[in-house]
Structure 1
Amino acid sequence: MKLKPILSAALIVCGTYTPLASAGLFDSITSGIANAFDFSKQKLETYKQTTDKQLLDQFYYLSEDGKEEGLSKELAGKTKSFEFQKLTPSSLTVRQLMYREGNMQSVMQAMSRYTYSPMSDEYGQRYVAFAQSRGNVVKLYKPALGSLLNQMFAQNFYLRHDDRNTAEWIGVDNALVEYSPSGQIVSVMTRSHQATISIGVQSYQYINLYFGAGNAQIIENRIANQNFENNFIRVIASPSIPALVAQETKSPESANLTASSVRSGVAKIAPLTSTPSTPPATSPEQRMQMLKNLAELKQSGILTEQEFQAEKRKILAN
């Protein structure tokens, strides 16, 4: 008879004490896990170290506290098939699903017939438009140069290479290269591919954006000028556009843009013109002006003699 009250008292004590202790321990554990997986400071530091924030902000979004990152809000709304992959101080990688097949052989057959223009998606178009908005020129090159560029940089594929479960292609896409008015490389955009076996086989196209003076120097030092000349296709858009767009971007409104407004997708870029390097001229006066603009690009070192002659023939043909 005396044992029941004692046990009841003990149960009451345990019942009132234990939940308090468990709650405190649980909060401590969950807080520790949250901190362990909170990479916001690391993301903010990486963004701080990036060498071309103006270009990066056209594609990438990072919240002020560093907890949310991904594609720029505008791009995310337009390109549902693309997803953010990786950011480093001198590169950005995004990817999109290209093929979903039952086996690797089917993907390889699809890739053997693969053709793709870098100007067919929002990323290539945005890259060229922004380069022109800051007074630069973008040249289009054959896949052979894209392969050389991709070989020089680590590919930020989703999985590490595995002979049994992955396959990669790094030389099947054209390359885009941005040049300053003085002829120096400012940035490059390449594309590469990886197919992985999971439930079936999925093949992704990766868009790689490399920027900064360090990357530019590596490219200029290690790739011979002959490779650029032999693989050159054309200058994207009219040679006269960069100068016109550059004047527009010098307005007080654009000059007062802050880093946070650009990061939030507020900044506007100039609209992209058509892909052909020289639109049809309607009069001799227009052709003369285009030739003068072309001569200025050659004189500044942006165009080689071979490129100048190729563009000149296109203008005269129109």
Structure 2
Amino acid sequence: MYEWIKGYNLVEYSEQAERMDFGEHESFHMERLELESPPVGVTAAAQYFIAQQAWLSDDFQQMIPADNANIRELILAEVAPHFADVKQVIREGNIETIYLRELKPESRQLFLDTHTGILPVLEDLYRHHDISDSFSGVKRTIVNYVVDPAALEPYEVPGTETLQALLNAYLELPDGEYALMPLGWKFDDHLQNSAALRFFAGWAPHLMLGVDADTDEVIILHMSAREFTREVLLNSARPKPSRRRGSYLYMDIGHALVNVIDLSRQSHIKAWNELKDVKVYQLPEGMDFTDFNHETAEPLPAGIAFFYDQDSLQSMIGRVNQELEDFN
């Protein structure tokens, strides 16, 4: 059993956490495209990218890599005409992504009336259309299983050359990954017969299933151009204990980022947004947290938001309150 699951996973040891790059956001902007051609029919590529809005929710949106001119032409010819809101994302003067929202009513009907070769794959990928559990906010314990594509029987779909070219564009991105959220998948040996899993295994070199440890529900399907690795941070890469400099509390939050909090203006908090003066700084290249001094550094620009998991948030709130007791 489970001969289609690899019995190992590569481990990558890191001496330092990867630095975040904030420079790439400086010249980012979006331009709306007005398409003259109305939707005429639905191709396999169009049906694939329409499915989420047609079946699951109008709130879904598609962002397809489009830095390649040929790929961009395919998107604008086959997929974009079905959406009312079409924008191109431009960075550093180059078109990077095509952004698609608001499925047109006539395209929704075309989707329902059309049977392309990709439809059985989509019906298997989304075995039901209830997404309420997917966005419930309930914390899950995820176990990752690496799939052996060579062990799966191929599921070939004629007429999907354009779709596979568009999907390949995701794998050609710097991170080389693409992910989907299947609905109704249970992790058992029968999953090797899944039409969707076998189809994706035909073009993605590496696949990995993220499975809920308590329910065996497959939460996410990862696809990648590179072999999956599990990063293990050595002690040198883990956040250092918080420290104070005068009335300022420095909290190492990893990835060369530091929260700087002015304790002199602060009372005890129950929520992170009760902090009156908190700024995030990035350590200069090569600097250790123990040498950081906010007086000789510049905070990150306004408009960059950070999201913390609940455990980390409560830990930081507890640390702030403890430091306030010691400070006062």
TM-score category (smaller protein): under 0.3
Q: Which is helix-richer, 1 or 2?
A: 1
Instruction: Give the number of the structure whose alpha-carbon radius of gyration is greater.
Output: 1
TM-score (norm 1): 0.22
